Amino acid sequence: MKKLLVLLAVMMPTLLFAQGWKNKTLVTIGGRNITAGEFMEVYEKNNINSEVIDKKNVDEYLDMYTKFKLKVIEAENRQMDTLPKFIKEYDGYRKQLAKPYFSNDEGTEALVEEAYERMLWDVNASHILIKCDAHAVPADTLKAYNKAMEIRKRIMNGEDFATVAVEASEDPSARDIEAIPGKQRAFKGNRGNLGYFTVFDMVYPFESGVYNAKVDEITMPIRTDFGYHIIKLHSKTPACGTVRVAHIFLTVDENDPLKSDSAVCVKAHNIYNEIEKDGSNWDKMVRKYTDDKGSAQHGGQLTPFKVSQIVPEFITAVKQLNLNEISEPVKTNYGYHIIKLLGTTGVKSFDEEKENLTKRVEKDMRAKVSDEAVLRRLKKENKFKEYVKVKDAFIATVDSTLQQGKYVVAEGVDTNKTLFKLQKQEYKIADFIEYIKAHQKEQPFMSAGSYAYQLYDDFVKETVFAYEDAHLEAKYPDFKLLVQEYHDGILLFDLMDKEVWKKAEQDTAGIRSYFEDHRDDYMWGKRVKTILVTVTNEESLERVQEIMKQDIMADSIKVLVKAESLKGVMVKSPYFQQGDNVDVDETEWTVGTIRVIPSTVDKTTKIIKIIDVREPEPKTYKEARGMMTSAYQTQLEAEWLKELQEKYPVTVNEKILEKVRKNYK
């Protein structure tokens, strides 16, 4: 035993030193020291444990972090964090971030296990909502419940759930919304169908009602803060997790005969049949036909999504596909989609998901059984001690002036006596009196004493919660880090807006000078000027082809088309670079070349004529303005950072930096 104690005594300083380097300064910025531990917390959260695509090594991230901190320090030195606009925005974010810390954590383990079981399944459900405020009086609550029961009875007697939802649900999304010119577009109601979702996507009582139901079951009314819900579960299928797909999208516009539902449906099936003949031509077909130009250059790939983020018809189709399989056209409220499944993540094992689920459960309202449970927990954690005799003696002095909402303190009351403590903080009768004066109302139907006790309970509750809120950063390092990120982020945005973004937009002379110095950076690639004619009326096609053979320009062709009343003819004369247009790419780039391209999926014919071939050349100031403004902003930021680095010298502790590097090798 003695040998062991001696060995531990020898080893302890070494062990402490091994851990202690994280508390040492890694970088000093303008006299402010940042420890290795502080940097590593941010590095791990935003670079290692996040889904960021462009992950940085330690040195790259330290450079980014240092530049970020330089700007924040400058903003603080300008006292931008004292401005009313900043304070209001920051307080709003902090209030939202603090909410999870005021929930009841009893039974967390069971809730985590329950959440995982639900996480394994995607559900599709409909509901009918009868609104009822969370704090409604009993009579109104009973009225809403009885109304919900009457509606349920109708469905149980055979009426269609969706039809009843359109008629009776107080969720406005159930019904169609008509267009208001210039204000909103028409929107087809969901007839009560909320689509697909999984754990944490809905409020906890509603989620429980769905997951505890059987497929096609009509539940009893389920109470949430919104009111009473009658729920019908349509399906419960294995969870997709995160979904990756590509699609070809065709819009429907009933105001355009060529884009009517029936026409687009036929076109979509023709495209699908063409893909079926040669599955290797997916990317080309996307570029050629999709109306989703944002995804066209990426093979139609959409940003990865969860099942709750996309309309149910789309998800239903995805769930029927195997990897890399392509769906037949799927109709949604937006148009027609041909979908290619690229992958799903599914759900990891419980052990892999547990940590994340625990964090979510702790921040989710399911962990909050009641405010009173939370209050008891906080009182215990903060060593609440109440002086009951002092409280009772003071309340005994309260008279009818409180009932009148005009409280007057009785003579002889010692307002300096302590009512209760939180840790070492004392709260005195004087504090309670201030609370009374700020919150009192006329209460003619309640005795002065009863009202005083009610106000006292409210005072204790608000004080305990306020005390906890004021000490959250000290109790929870993760919360402190998160709040600091929001604090710095708001400051950074405001300062960047002032010093870089707006400055670049307003500095016309500076942008012009930048353009003159960087002309060679803004070049067109090899381009062709074309006459591009689209013909949708077969009777006009032969005449248009004859006109295209003439040595005339696009404006003259438009004049002839109008003069001869040729229907279904659209004439354009754009420039194209390689990659801008599939059909132009496949056309010979020689002046005079004419190419006729009949569509394989509808009755459209395109005619392309090459009228000019231009070698690479500089863009004009107007043509380069958009890209150039962004580049000029980058230059302004770089110049500004140099000034900040001179103003706030940066020193890196290389020995500690090497330890940080080794930690992530």
Answer yes or no: is 114 within a domain: no
- CATH (domain of 646): 1.10.4030.10
Percent of the chain with pLDDT over 90: 69
Tell me, yes or no, whether 129 and 221 share the same domain: yes
The token pair at 391 is 């409280």
Query: Which residue carries 């999304």 as its tokens?
Result: 173
Does residue 367 register a pLDDT over 80?
no
Looking at this protein, which amino acid is placed at residue 192?
G
Contact in structure between 49 and 60 (CB atoms under 8 Å) = no
- How far apart are alpha carbons 29 and 500 in whole angstroms? 21
Report the SS3 class of residue 302: coil
Sheet holding 330-332, edge to edge: 243-251, 335-344, 330-332
Please tell me which residue, 161 or 454, carries the higher pLDDT value. Answer: 161
The token pair at 476 is 């929870």
Contact in structure between 282 and 299 (CB atoms under 8 Å) = yes
Please tell me which residue, 66 or 47, carries the higher pLDDT value. Answer: 66
Of 181, 214, 238, which one is at a domain's C-terminal end?
238
Tell me, yes or no, whether 231 and 125 share the same domain: yes
Query: What is the pLDDT of the chain when averaged over all its residues?
Result: 89
Tell me the CA distances in angstroms from 341 to 246, 314, 318, 324, one per residue in order. Answer: 7, 11, 7, 5
Summarised one tens digit per residue, pLDDT across range 148-197 is 999 999 999 999 999 999 999 999 999 988 877 777 677 789 999 999 99
Of the candidates 524, 620, 622, the one whose C-alpha atom is nearest the C-alpha of residue 578 is: 524
Answer yes or no: is 325 within a domain: yes
Summarised one tens digit per residue, pLDDT across range 373-418 is 788 989 999 999 999 999 999 999 999 999 999 999 999 999 999 9
The token pair at 125 is 């459900």
Summarised one tens digit per residue, pLDDT across range 543-579 is 999 999 999 999 999 999 999 999 999 999 999 999 8
Tell me, yes or no, whether 512 and 632 share the same domain: yes
Tell me, yes or no, whether 631 and 518 share the same domain: yes
Residue 412, sorted as left (phi over 0), alpha (psi -120 to 50) or beta, turns out to be left
Summarised one tens digit per residue, pLDDT across range 275-295 is 887 667 899 999 999 999 889
Of the candidates 369, 370, 372, the one whose C-alpha atom is nearest the C-alpha of residue 380 is: 372
- How far apart are alpha carbons 498 and 126 in whole angstroms? 48
- How far apart are alpha carbons 204 and 213 in whole angstroms? 14
- How far apart are alpha carbons 466 and 383 in whole angstroms? 15
Q: What is the DSSP letter of 159?
A: -
Tell me, yes or no, whether 513 and 528 share the same domain: no
- CATH (domain of 545): 3.10.50.40
The token pair at 213 is 């139901």
Does residue 298 register a pLDDT over 80?
yes
Residues 6+ apart with CB under 8 A from 368: 102, 103, 104, 374
User: How far separated are the first and last CA of the chain, in Å rounded?
Assistant: 38
Answer yes or no: is 196 within a domain: yes
As a whole number of angstroms, the longest Cα–Cα distance in the chain is: 111
Report the SS3 class of residue 447: coil
Report the SS3 class of residue 60: helix
Please tell me the number of Cα atoms within 13 Å of 114 on its side-chain side.
15
Tell me the CA distances in angstroms from 183 to 172, 178, 179, 252, 541, one per residue in order. Answer: 18, 11, 8, 20, 40
Contact in structure between 229 and 249 (CB atoms under 8 Å) = no
pLDDT at position 138, please? 60
pLDDT at position 446, please? 78
pLDDT at position 6, please? 40
Cα–Cα–Cα angle for 132, 134, 137, nearest 5°? 75
Answer yes or no: is 1 within a domain: no
Q: Which helix (H) or strand (E) covers residue 535, if one does?
A: strand 527-535
Rg from Cα positions in the chain: 34
- Of 169-173, 196-200, 467-471, 499-503, the one with minimum mean pLDDT is 499-503
- How far apart are alpha carbons 476 and 56 in whole angstroms? 27
Does residue 232 register a pLDDT over 60?
yes
Report the SS3 class of residue 399: coil
Q: How many CB atoms lie within 10 A of CB 470?
A: 10
pLDDT at position 52, please? 61
Contact in structure between 122 and 211 (CB atoms under 8 Å) = no
Looking at this protein, which amino acid is placed at residue 454?
Q
Query: Length of the chain in residues, anyone?
Result: 665
**Domain extent at residue 210:** 121-238
Number of structural domains the chain divides into: 5
Per-residue pLDDT band for 262 (boundaries 50, 70, 90) equals very high
Of 238, 268, 286, which one is at a domain's C-terminal end?
238
- Scanning 550-652, the segments in alpha helix (DSSP H) are 554-563, 582-585, 621-647
* CA 579, 584, 590, 592 torsion-angle sign: negative
Tell me, yes or no, whether 125 and 234 share the same domain: yes
Answer yes or no: is 2 within a domain: no
Contact in structure between 584 and 590 (CB atoms under 8 Å) = no
Answer yes or no: is 352 within a domain: no
pLDDT at position 277, please? 75
- How far apart are alpha carbons 392 and 414 in whole angstroms? 13
Answer yes or no: is 374 within a domain: no
Tell me, yes or no, whether 490 and 624 share the same domain: yes
Does residue 31 register a pLDDT over 60?
yes
Mean pLDDT across the stretch 188-209?
A: 94
pTM above 0.85, yes or no: no
Highest mean pLDDT among 48-57, 153-162, 596-605: 153-162
pLDDT at position 50, please? 67
Q: What is the DSSP letter of 415?
A: T
Percent of the chain with pLDDT over 70: 93
Mean pLDDT across the stretch 11-22?
A: 54
Of 470, 487, 502, which one is at a domain's C-terminal end?
470
Find residue 29's DSSP bridge partners. 32, 650
Tell me, yes or no, whether 291 and 301 share the same domain: yes
Pairing of strands 32-35, 25-29: antiparallel
- How far apart are alpha carbons 237 and 196 in whole angstroms? 10
Distance of CA 519 to the CA centre of its chain: 39
Q: What is the DSSP letter of 184?
A: B
Tell me, yes or no, whether 129 and 81 share the same domain: no
The token pair at 35 is 């420890």
Summarised one tens digit per residue, pLDDT across range 117-130 is 999 999 999 999 99
Of the candidates 347, 352, 348, 111, the one whose C-alpha atom is nearest the C-alpha of residue 237 is: 347
Tell me, yes or no, whether 225 and 131 share the same domain: yes
**Exposed, middle or buried, 139 (CB in 10 Å: 0-12/13-18/19+)?**
exposed
Tell me, yes or no, whether 64 and 139 share the same domain: no
Report the SS3 class of residue 397: coil
Per-residue pLDDT band for 10 (boundaries 50, 70, 90) equals very low
Tell me, yes or no, whether 517 and 659 share the same domain: yes
Answer yes or no: is 354 within a domain: no
Number of H helices, E strands in the chain: 26, 20
